[in-house]
Structure 1
Amino acid sequence: MSEQAPPPESLLPYDRWTEDAMRNVALRALEFAAKNGLPGEHHFYLTFRTDHPDTKVPGHLKARYPQEMTIVLQHQFWDLTVDRAAQKVSVGLSFGGVASTLVIPFAALVAFWDPHVRVGLRFGEGGAPDGDAEPDPEPEAGEADLPAEAPAAKPEAPAQVVSLDAFRRRPTRE
Structure 2
Amino acid sequence: MARSLDYGNMMHRAMRGLIREVLLDVAAHGLPGEHHFFITFDTLHPDVEIADWLSDRYPGEMTVVVQHWYDNLDVGDEGFSITLNFGDSPEPLYIPFDAIRTFVDPSVEFGLRFESQTDEEEVPAAQMVEIEENGAPDEEDGDRGAQPEAEIVRLDSFRK
Q: Is the 8 A contact 2:87 2:142 kept in 1?
A: no
Deviation at 1:164, TM superposition (A): 3.8
1:53 to 43, 46, 49: 46
SS of corresponding position for 2:108: coil
Structure 2 partner of 1:93: 84
Answering whether residue 70 of structure 2 is matched by residue 81 of structure 1, we say no
User: Which contiguous aligned blocks of 4+ residues in structure 1 show a shift greater than 2 angstroms?
Assistant: 140-146
**How many Å separate the matches in 2 of 1:110 and 1:77?**
20
Q: 1:56 offset after TM fit, Å?
A: 0.8
User: Following the alignment from structure 1 to structure 2, what is the Cα–Cα distance between the partners of residues 33 and 164?
Assistant: 27
Out of 147, 151, 154, the residue aligned to residue 146 of structure 2 is 151
TM-score if structure 1 supplies the norm length? 0.68
Q: CA deviation at 1:143?
A: 3.8
Q: Secondary structure at the match of 2:47?
A: coil
- Measured at CA, do residues 161 and 12 of structure 1 come closer, stay the same or move farther in structure 2, by a change above 3 Å? farther
Aligned CA distance change for structure 1 residues 161 and 66 (closer, same or farther; 3 Å)? farther
Letter in 2 for 1:40: G
Aligned mates of 2:139, 2:40 — CA distance in 1 = 11
User: What is the aligned-residue identity percentage?
Assistant: 38
Distance 1:143 1:89, change over 3 A: farther
Residue matched to 1:32: 25
Match of residue 97, structure 2, among 58, 82, 106? 106
Greater RCO (CA < 8 Å, at least 6 residues apart): 1
5+ unaligned residues in a row in structure 2: which ranges?
118-123, 125-136, 155-160
1:84-120 CA-to-partner distances (Å, cap 9, x unmatched) read: 1xx1210001112111100011111111000000100
2:11 aligned with 1:18, yes or no?
Answer: yes
Q: Paired residues, what number?
A: 134
TM-score, length basis structure 2:
0.74
> Which letter does structure 2 place at the counterpart of 1:113?
V
More strand by share: 2
Conserved? CA contact 1:77–1:145, under 8 Å: no
Task: Tell me the CA shift for residue 29 of structure 1.
Answer: 0.9
- In structure 1, stretches of 5+ residues that fail to align are 1-8, 127-132, 134-139, 153-159, 166-174
Inter-partner Cα distance in structure 2 for 1:76 and 1:58 = 18
- Mapped to 1, the partners of 2:84 and 2:140 lie a distance apart of 9
- 2:17 and 2:139 mapped to 1: Cα distance? 24
Larger radius of gyration: 1
Q: Tell me if 1:163 matches 2:152.
A: yes
